[in-house]
Amino acid sequence: MKLRLVLWLLGLMLKRARRGNARFRETLGELNRLDWGIATEDLAIARHYRMTPKGIHSASGLPVDLDLELRFRDAEAALAILKKPTQQAFLDGMIDGRVRLVGDSKDLTRLQKLLGKM
């Protein structure tokens, strides 16, 4: 339940950042479009985000056309890493099998750059 709430709140925070943060909008404009999602490995909890300079859309589930997916071993692992989403936390999570990246690692770098502007 906590992870579902955190992912829903992340969508609200992204929309708020796009509305009120000029640096975030500028960086999003440079990216043009980024579609990404977060889920547990069993897909029991999943949410995706479609971000363009014109708006941000968030919904439950993971469509197959996403640029990037972050798959966590379970909800507890996801919460632990998402509480402090540093590059080192993601690397450690990948090494010990708590998080798996589906997609291009370049998209993860682009996402981290954008989220750093929030």
Three-state helix/strand/coil letters over the chain: CHHHHHHHHHHHHHHHHHHHCHHHHHHHHHHCCEEEEEEECCCCCEEEEEEECCEEEEEECCCCCCCEEEEECCHHHHHHHHHCCCHHHHHHHHHCCCEEEEECHHHHHHHHHHHCCC
pLDDT at 87: 81
Q: How confident is the model at residue 118 (pLDDT cuts 50, 70, 90)?
A: confident
Q: Model pTM?
A: 0.89
% of residues, the chain, pLDDT over 90: 73
Average pLDDT of the chain is: 92
Q: What is the pLDDT of residues 69-114, one digit of tens each?
A: 999 999 999 999 988 878 888 889 999 999 999 998 898 888 888 8
Where are the domains positioned within the chain? Answer: 2-115
Q: Which CATH architecture has domain 2-115?
A: 2-Layer Sandwich (3.30)
* Residue 30 burial (CB count, 10 A): 11
